[in-house]
Amino acid sequence: MKLDRGQSETVGVVLLLGVVVVITSVGGVAVLAAIDASTPETPPVDIAIEATETDIIVTHGGGGTLDGGHVDVILQTDTDERRYESVFEDEVTPGDEVTLTHEMSGSLTVLVVDTESDSVVARETVVLADSTATETTATPSATPTEAPTETETPTATSTPAETPTPTPEPSPAFFDVRIDDTNSPVGEGETFVVEATVTNRGERADTQEVSLNTFVWWFPAELAGKDVTLEPGESTQVTFRYDVPRWATGHWWVAVSSDDDTEWTRGEVR
């Protein structure tokens, strides 16, 4: 009887281990299917923004298409805001460009908004000089006459006090992100490496988190991150290493992001 009971307990343990293995395998397949289904079929849109003292130039630089009737451009300063609605007439494809005129100055933030999805597809912050010029009108001198010359008592001329020119406030920090290289494609279970350069294009020092992200069910998911401190005009290179799960095969989009800017690239796991 003791021998039979021992055999029953052994069979029970083996069956329990088998059930655990099956549940784990099914769970891994479900997660893989979820990530594969959540990966966008079309790349994000690359919108380039150029700003001068009089014009804003918006250019579709690559990626997916946009419905021009749902693309607005918003200009913001510390004291003013202006919105240009439906700036493109038709479908917006790579190479399309639109020029908008404005009269704003100082620290100017330009937002390109897709109103259909209620999302910001591009953002740029620049510092513009005041476009209002001060004109000085010269007073013509009197034309001499043939009248006899008279001796005049010179009148003292007062020199007006100079008005000090206010010092403009430095523009806030803006961490521009550019992806330099990846080691894609990688194999299952290998390490995916992304190298990027971050440049502070503002006039103030700042510390921001720079992160490596991807999509899970259309929501961004952070894979790795690190704090970066930059002085105005300073650049640094950051490297991210992510150990790819063995089941995560296929093509998927990853991005390197700061608080101000994001750049996307496509990775492959074989």
- Show me where the domains of the chain are located: 5-9+12-38+170-270, 44-131
pLDDT at 216 over 70: no
- One fold for 5-9+12-38+170-270 and 44-131: yes
| Distance in angstroms (rounded) separating the CA atoms of residues 85 and 119 | 14
Fold of 5-9+12-38+170-270: Immunoglobulin-like (2.60.40)
Q: What is the pLDDT of residue 35?
A: 41
Q: How confident is the model at residue 248 (pLDDT cuts 50, 70, 90)?
A: confident
Q: What is the pLDDT of residues 132-160, one digit of tens each?
A: 544 444 444 445 556 556 666 666 666 77
Q: Are 249 and 188 in contact (CB under 8 A)?
A: yes
Looking at domain 44-131, its CATH superfamily turns out to be: Lamin Tail domain (2.60.40.1260)
pTM exceeds 0.75 for this model: no
CA torsion sign for 139, 140, 141, 147 is: negative
Residue 266 bridge partners (DSSP): 253
DSSP character string of 204-255 = S-EEEEEEEEEEETTEEEEEEEEEEEE-TT-EEEEEEEEE--TT--EEEEEE
What residue ranges in the chain does DSSP mark as E strands? Answer: 46-51, 55-62, 66-67, 71-76, 81-84, 91-92, 97-101, 106-114, 119-128, 175-182, 191-200, 206-216, 219-230, 235-243, 250-257, 262-269
